[in-house]
Amino acid sequence: MHPAQRLLTLAVAPTPSMFAPVSTPAFAIRELSILVFAIVVAIFVVVAALTVYAIVRYRRRPGDDGREPPQVYGSAQIELAWTVVPFLIVVVLFLTTARYIFAIEGRAPAPGALEVTIVGHQWWWEIRYPGLGIVTANELHVPVSDPARPTPTFLTLQSADVIHSFWIPQLAGKTDVIPGKTNRSWIDPRTPGVYVGQCAEFCGLQHAGMLLRAIVHPQEEFDRWVAAQRTVAADVAAAHAGRDVFISLACINCHAVRGTPANGVFGPDLTHLMSRGTLGAGVAPNSRENLRAWVRDPAALKPGALMPSMQLSGDQLDQLIGYLVTLR
Ligand code: CUA
């Protein structure tokens, strides 16, 4: 799927459900929830059954004389039973929950694991990949993790202002994001896809407008995303440097790029250079590679062309092309 198409599908991403986990902490939370739910359902059924039994068994019948039945005060056995049984239920719930919490929180980052720093702001998420030099926002990209050889992503959670809470229900439990404190979480999504989340702590006017998306890629696709994120940054830097090269050279005596000091009219206007299909009046398709060859030595493509070779170094040429390809 083309990345733009993928983004379109984000708008119709399903409602987040903790009952459709794809990551170890979320699986654990679902397991625990089902256990707790089963216990409370059992309690409900017992209580409701006894209530219904008492209502039916001791209802008013024709011929009742209106007097109360024999009243029983105090029963050590019953008192003991309804104290000990709930206590045991609470002990079971406590121990199971503690086991799950320690299993999730005790996971130490493996060396070389992907680390992401997420900073809550009013009302958006800053997302940083310190090891990769990538900075983005609101959409967390991570690689899928093979359950046979898990590669979890570790999250460092911080706040720039007030308390927020990071929650993508299908990936992990919510973790508060607290000013002055660093919290940690981790995810190891097993299925590629888009998983939606939400700030889960009231943080002001736009709390409800503080949404999150995690995009889980197959490893190669994630590597391409990383490369693209880094290339874009490099391209912007090259384009800035390239603009300086362009302005400093004789290019501007012959070519115009409207909005810059370049206002020459001897050669073609370059303001929307990349919107044209060909170079040198049709001698070559207008691609990055051909453009580079053209600028290096126009006569090689079009003998006798009046545009001179500017004798640029490889670096200058790269920077210049980096700028020219932005002219759309
Ligand atoms: Cu941020 Cu609610």
Mean pLDDT score of the chain, rounded to an integer? 89
CB atoms within 10 A of CB 102: 10
pLDDT score at 75: 87
Q: What separation in Å is there between the alpha carbon of 126 and the centre of ligand 1?
A: 13
User: Which of 158, 159, 153 lies closest to 172 in space, CA to CA?
Assistant: 153
Q: Give the tokens for residue 193.
A: 């896809």
Q: What separation in Å is there between the alpha carbon of 61 and the centre of ligand 1?
A: 59
Q: What separation in Å is there between the alpha carbon of 207 and the centre of ligand 1?
A: 4
Q: Give the C-alpha separation, 102 to 104, whole Å.
A: 5
pLDDT band at 319 (very low <50, low <70, confident <90, very high): confident
Q: Is 199 in the pocket of ligand 1 (CB under 6 A)?
A: yes
Q: Is 120 in the pocket of ligand 1 (CB under 6 A)?
A: yes
DSSP category for residue 66: S
pLDDT band at 93 (very low <50, low <70, confident <90, very high): very high
**How many CA atoms, within 13 angstroms, populate the side-chain half-sphere of residue 290?**
15
Longest Cα separation, the chain: 123
Q: Is the pLDDT of residue 12 over 50?
A: no
Q: What separation in Å is there between the alpha carbon of 305 and the centre of ligand 1?
A: 62
Q: What separation in Å is there between the alpha carbon of 212 and the centre of ligand 1?
A: 11
Q: What is the pTM of this model?
A: 0.68
203-259, pLDDT tens digit by residue? 999 999 899 999 999 999 999 999 888 877 677 777 788 888 898 888 898 899 988
Q: Give the tokens for residue 285.
A: 């398709």
- Collapsing DSSP to helix, strand or coil, 206 comes out as coil
Q: Which atom of ligand 1 is nearest to the CA of 203?
A: 2
Q: Give the tokens for residue 187.
A: 């995810």
pLDDT score at 315: 87
Q: Give the tokens for residue 23.
A: 């990551």
264-316, pLDDT tens digit by residue? 888 899 999 988 988 888 888 999 999 999 999 998 888 888 889 988 888 88
Q: Give the C-alpha separation, 210 to 166, whole Å.
A: 10
Which has the higher per-residue pLDDT, 327 or 234?
327
Q: Is 118 in the pocket of ligand 1 (CB under 6 A)?
A: no
